[in-house]
Amino acid sequence: MKIIVHREKCQGHARCWAMAPDIFELDDEGYIMPGDIDVPEEQERLAWMGAKSCPERALDIQK
Ligand code: F3S
């Protein structure tokens, strides 16, 4: 599974990171790091919850 990161939509809510800090990395200003994220199978559930928690819909799930 892959998370497609729409960096331009990120407003720095950090909910993704709060849910799964090992998957979602933030920059020094609290915005998601640009670049899509490859998620290992055992972390898919957490990644899914983190992506869904973004109020800006900046994180899309690709299976
Ligand atoms: Fe940004 Fe959404 Fe995470 S606004 S920091 S991608 S919760």
Q: Going by CATH, does the domain composed of 1-57 fall within 3.40.630.30?
A: no
* Cβ neighbour number for residue 22 with a 10 Å cutoff: 11
CA atoms within a 13 Å half-sphere pointing along the CA-CB vector of 63 = 2
Distance 44 CA to ligand 1 centre (A): 17
Nearest CA to ligand 1 atom 2: 54
> Model confidence over 4-27: pLDDT tens digits?
999 999 999 999 999 999 999 999
Give me Rg for the CA atoms of the chain.
10
Kindly provide the ipTM of the predicted complex, given to two decimals: 0.98
Distance 57 CA to ligand 1 centre (A): 8
Q: Indicate the pTM of the whole model.
A: 0.94
Residue 61's SS3 state is strand
> Model confidence over 41-52: pLDDT tens digits?
999 999 999 999
| Domain extents in the chain | 1-57
Of 43, 41, 44, 21, the closest CA to residue 32 belongs to 21
- Which atom in ligand 1 lies closest to the alpha carbon of residue 58? 6
Q: How far apart are CA 49 and CA 29, in angstroms?
A: 23
